[in-house]
Structure 1
Amino acid sequence: MTRGGSAMTRGGSAVWAGGAATRSRVTVTVVTVLVALAGCGVRPEAVPRPVEPSASRLPPVTVPAASPNGEVGERLYYVRDDRLVVVTRQVPTPSAPAALLTTLLTGPSEQERDAGLGTALTGVDPTTTVRLTGDTATVHVGDRLAEAGRTDEVLAFGQIVCTVVGHPAVNQVTFRHDSEPLGIPRADGSLSQAPLTCHDFGSLLD
């Protein structure tokens, strides 16, 4: 027998010892890999194929809800039984904060009035303006709304604040009269010149 790939004569036939050993090692290696794959739950395939990403790893996709007519909801706050009641109207496009306030000042529709809704903003100057600075809307009011001692003034300011902060660009509201900060009554009876949100009138919400 010759080492390093020499022939060994066995019964008149030559057998290559080195080649037989090499084939034996390859066979053992392949069997070992297949056993390892089987242990991991992976079945070998004869033909390669692309691997799709797992659905559980894909980021969630949020699709905004749309009305059947492609319109958006606009929230207005009116009054019923000394409570603030929200009404959602469908409009073609979102209104600017100033336009939203103008819509509020026109009062509830006939259908809304039939449902018992009213407003504490009757007689308020329709030229009341809104200026937006960052996420703060400043409402400039006329004499009628600035009068002290109105029994419905908390509801009136609650209507404005809750309606205006419903706009996506607004988080809080301040009021001014004749360019001066105006103290606003909150639901708890306190006056505040600080920026207000609908939470300041939470106990009045229906």
Structure 2
Amino acid sequence: MLLNLNMAELLNPHIQPVELAKAYRLLNHGPTVLVSAQHEQEANVMTAAWACALELVPAKVSVVLDKSTKTRKLIEGSGYFALQVPTLKQIELVQALGSISQFDDPAKLEHCHTPLFHFDGFNLPMVEGCAAWLICELIPEPHNQQVHDLFIGKVVAAYADDRVFRDGHWYYHEADPSWKSVHHVAGGHYYTIGDAVDANKS
């Protein structure tokens, strides 16, 4: 079931917009992300380990998407995608969405029990329970996409859960450990983000 932002706010009043000039901070710590896309009546979500901030103003991001993925085809069709920062409590969903191809299982999202909603004004499936969401307009770069599988997007909207990100900063050190971001290494093996260290303190 897809919910719009108004309904999502009722379910989770902690979702707050993020200033686009600070959207890069949502990805700067290198988390594994969930990539969402929709084209016409087809929607999908996949897991990606290679995503990063690319530019501050205007905010841009990059993500590597293999040619074999359905999500990539949906992005090429619609020109939009979303990057989401999942949490430790979603680790089984993260692994499942990265292990099953929608080409093999058209009902992938249902079989993975993926909870979805929509932000008003954007026809993209968003995953509930994440720590952050970045909505991106594809900047077409045919050479990079075909040769390097590299997709670039302009961030047009960003949101975060204020229990773990607010005022432009992550607060992992204050939140419950279940809110920690996950970082894929290989073969279903992940790390979570570690302790905060301030290099400015003597």
- What TM-score do you get using the length of structure 2 for normalisation? 0.25
Kindly indicate which of the two structures has a greater share of residues assigned to strand: 2
- What TM-score do you get using the length of structure 1 for normalisation? 0.25
The structure with the largest alpha-carbon Rg is: 1
Q: Which has the higher contact order (CA 8 A, sep 6+)?
A: 2
